[in-house]
Amino acid sequence: MKNAIDVNNLTKEYRNIIALENITISCTHSKIYGLLGRNGAGKTTLMHLLAGQLLPTEGSINIYGENVYENKETLNKICYVGPFSNINNYVKTFRVRDFLKTASLFYPDWDQDFADRLIRLFSLDIKKHYRNLSAGMLSMVAIVISLASRAPLTLLDEPYTGLDAAARQEFYDILAEDYSNHPRTIIFSTHLIDEASKLFEDVILLHQGRILLQEPIETLEESSFMVSGDEEKLKSMLSNKKVINIEYMGRRATYSLFDTLSEPEKTVLTQADLEIRSLTLQQLFVYLTANKEGYDVKF
């Protein structure tokens, strides 16, 4: 079976600015990928390229084994949902029902019953004009389209702008429930990493236009630790580990590792009065992207 996404040696330049450089990734069917990166890392550019909304400068993109560009059958398999800020003046005359009607005509597997359920859940007034919708309401419209489209490839680019914490959690719950009933490939770009991380099965980390890593979430969880205690002990006992951050407090320190620790190694560290804790995905993201050259802090 073909992958949902195959990106090979992809580069995108805007005049003299390189937004993405030599990107190669593959995404399988029926999996949720977290797409992470700092502002300007290239996340939205990559999303637009995957959706066929931009042409690459170099490289190739195949969606379900087909070229995405000027390919209606392939484009109908992709639902990209991002900010509404760049829509044209004609679309700004739409009411909520016009957005939903247009989406229902574009996506062949559109689920109107599910769309109606989400409209009731979010208390959306389908007669409201675009100009009268708050940022949170626009996000709700986008969420309805993304989920009701039933698109085999769903691209969610910060889909919850303007939503409060309770509404975001409601969205996560709906997405998880619907994904379990209707599996598809989802690429989820977010800055609220710890909130959304429970949804992710794989993580793609972009840094300065390049892929820093693509790993299963379990692999990252098994390779991300904080070790705290006497600084001299840490320096000596972790000299062969990949240290991505160090915090000092007097003679004590906390070393953050992006490396494995075997059970015997954990035992030795614990017996030396060193405390071991897991890093959150957000902490790992912050530390890996903190330095221009990427991770691996040198002593």
Q: What is the mean pLDDT of residues 258-286?
A: 96
How many whole angstroms separate alpha carbon 182 and alpha carbon 77?
Answer: 14
Question: Taking a C-beta distance cutoff of 8 angstroms, is the pair 234, 285 a contact?
Answer: no
pLDDT of 27 > 60? The answer is yes
The pLDDT assigned to 82 comes to 83
Q: 18-31: b or e for each residue (b if 16 or more CB lie within 10 Å)? A: ebbbebebebeeeb
CB atoms within 10 A of CB 278: 12
Task: Express each pLDDT in 191-226 by its tens digit.
Answer: 999 999 999 999 999 999 999 999 999 999 999 999
Please provide the average confidence, as pLDDT, over all residues in the chain: 91
The pLDDT assigned to 291 comes to 62
Q: Which pair of structure tokens corresponds to residue 233?
A: 């002990």
The pLDDT assigned to 87 comes to 59
Q: Would you say domain 3-217 falls under CATH 3.40.50.300?
A: yes
Report pTM.
Answer: 0.91
Lowest mean pLDDT, pick from 31-45, 74-88, 109-123: 74-88
Delimit the CATH 3.30.70 region(s) of the chain: 223-290
Q: Which CATH number fits domain 223-290: 2.30.29, 3.30.70, 2.40.160, 3.90.470?
A: 3.30.70
Delimit the CATH 3.40.50.300 region(s) of the chain: 3-217
How many whole angstroms separate alpha carbon 38 and alpha carbon 78?
Answer: 25
pLDDT of 295 > 90? The answer is no
Task: Express each pLDDT in 68-104 by its tens digit.
Answer: 888 889 999 999 998 665 555 556 778 999 999 999 9
pLDDT of 298 > 50? The answer is no
Task: Express each pLDDT in 137-171 by its tens digit.
Answer: 889 999 999 999 999 999 999 988 889 999 999 99
Strand locations in 28-158 (E)? 32-36, 58-63, 66-67, 78-81, 153-157
